[in-house]
Amino acid sequence: MNVKAEIDNLKGRVAVLEAVTISGVPGVSIAERFDLVHLRIDHVAQNLRDHVTSEANRLEAAMDRRFGEIDAWRTTVDAWRTTVDARFEKIDGELAEIKSLLVAMAAKQ
């Protein structure tokens, strides 16, 4: 009988111990443990959102800067093209003048 009483006593103690420490932390209920885990998950998720938002803002600023540089480059190229077009128009005018002089010289001969 002593053994049976000892087994019953141990079973009772194990049941109490399991009820108290089932969450892995003595003195903290399962509900409290779940709350703590969910709070940690919320904090990690918020940190991830903050990091992603920060990186997205940094990338957006970098892209805006690069697009500004590209726009400035396009403006420079457009000005260069305008200058080249003006030079070709001037050359075309001079060639037309030379041609008319050559035609006039040929007509005199």
Nearest 10 degrees: Cα torsion 82, 87, 90, 91: -140
pTM for this model (two decimals): 0.50
pLDDT in tens, 34-45: 888 899 999 999
pLDDT per residue over 7-55, tens digit each? Answer: 988 888 877 776 666 556 667 766 777 888 899 999 999 999 999 999 9
- CA atoms of 102 and 108, how far apart (whole Å): 10
Rounded CA separation 105/96 (Å): 14
Residue spans per domain, the chain: 2-108
Tokens 């003048």 correspond to 97
